[in-house]
Homo-oligomer: A and B are copies of this chain.
């Protein structure tokens, strides 16, 4: 049995005095997404509480509270001994004026840390474990070190498919969830890695013209030359306030907006801030990230496009099939109807790589202009067709023809014009697009057939040329796979606005053109689903 205290020796420990308050001060340092609190070394509360530099602290004022990392200051000009300084972001989050009373205390350690340690040790976690971890992450309780440990531990250990479901469900549960009061609500997502692949801007008007709700929010490019939001921004405002977006969707069945302000999957945003610097993109985390966002956005049906090719994100058919099965498994458990399409990722889609160039391609296709790239048109019809089949009244296999009819009749263009007008039209003429004026061409030194196009390299050149920050910059691809070129013919044209950008793009193209010519195209391409 346990040894016990002799009762007559027990006295109550003295309780600590309630913390006094300090005056909030805005410290004009941009610490970029990390909340920092500043206390002067001589501050009485700093000394009493036994904080250490870099302690996690909780700051409370006027009923609000935030978590922050503590920095200790020796200069009263930055923060005085009776003040509580907050970095720019932190001060903005607090939403309380300078001079207001504030309290500071040790932050509770996140409750999910034991679960984190078990995952670091390679153990399988329960649904409850993932919920606890994701909740702490969404509430900014995890330090960068803890976030990174979680991401790497999940990546290496390879979450099994049940765990991927737990993680996805946990991520979908924090933050907002939209409800469109309609059914079906269809969405589309492409795994990525293919420049110019702006099929969303064709698929959404086609599907909406048919009458299915398709409220599409997209991201801006992080590492690519253009995201859907960047290209759409050439045609219309992509950041209308959220309430306005809801109205637009109610009226037109669709929108094509930037998803940045929605706060739909706050844990995802935090995790991405460490996944990206590490270039970590494991299947489990990819599925959780994408599906949690779609569920939070209120989608009931999702069309997922997985391009496969030697320079795409997914490099082989077996890898694509594994990914597809994982998406299907998790989506089914989340109550999301999913249709996965594996597509050709061997080259960029369309001609343009960069916002204005891609907007030109999209408008040409909508206008049924013969200059509209065929591969972009056909891929969009194929995907739109599959999405139309989410409508119970559309028979399996009929989708493509209905989509083509909507496009060729001009109803898709009409719908796009309506969306553009509703979000806020920007002047754009696909016959006279505002391309950046400094250009150079990359030409073939010999004759031959285009055998290989390097997606990564062409994207890299387009970015060096300035895309997407410079909307009119990028690469205009003049020859696609299988096309014959003569010596001296242009393969692609690069547009830039600044000499430095043009120089860097040219240097990179000289280093590695990204186009390989040969006698003929190797016809043993993988077979794709139709």
Chain A residues packing against B (C-beta within 8 Å): 1-6, 9-14, 16, 27-32, 38, 41, 52-54, 71-75, 77-78, 88, 117, 120-122, 143-146, 148-149, 151-153, 155-157, 274, 277-280, 440-446, 448, 485, 488, 491, 499-500, 502-504, 506-507, 509-510, 513, 515-518
Count the copies.
2
Neighbour of A145 across the interface among B13, B52, B274, CB < 8 A:
B274
Query: Could you pull out 6 A-B pairs where Cβ atoms are within 8 angstroms?
Result: A3-B516, A6-B488, A28-B75, A29-B71, A117-B279, A120-B155
Nearest B-chain residue to A273, judged by Cβ: B145
Neighbour of A2 across the interface among B4, B53, B440, B516, CB < 8 A:
B516
Q: Determine whether the beta carbon of A448 is less than 8 Å from that of B1.
A: yes
Neighbour of A445 across the interface among B5, B143, B442, CB < 8 A:
B5
**CA of A2 to CA of B515 in the docked complex: distance in angstroms?**
7
Q: Determine whether the beta carbon of B144 is less than 8 Å from that of A30.
A: no
**CA of A5 to CA of B461 in the docked complex: distance in angstroms?**
14
**CA of A149 to CA of B488 in the docked complex: distance in angstroms?**
49
Given contacts A155-B120, A156-B157, A280-B120, contact A30 B445 (CB under 8 A): no
On chain B, the residues within 8 Å of A500 by CB distance are: 13-14, 16
Neighbour of A143 across the interface among B10, B149, B156, B277, CB < 8 A:
B277
A3-B513, A145-B277 known; 20 new pairs, CB 8 Å cut-off, are A2-B517, A3-B485, A5-B443, A5-B445, A9-B443, A13-B504, A13-B507, A14-B499, A14-B500, A29-B72, A29-B73, A30-B53, A30-B71, A32-B52, A74-B88, A77-B77, A117-B278, A144-B148, A145-B278, A152-B152
Neighbour of A53 across the interface among B31, B151, B155, CB < 8 A:
B31
Q: Determine whether the beta carbon of B148 is less than 8 Å from that of A145.
A: yes
Nearest B-chain residue to A516, judged by Cβ: B2
On chain B, the residues within 8 Å of A13 by CB distance are: 499-500, 502-504, 506-507
Q: Determine whether the beta carbon of B3 is less than 8 Å from that of A74.
A: no
**CA of A491 to CA of B3 in the docked complex: distance in angstroms?**
9
Which of A3, A11, A504 has the most B CB atoms < 10 Å from its CB? A3
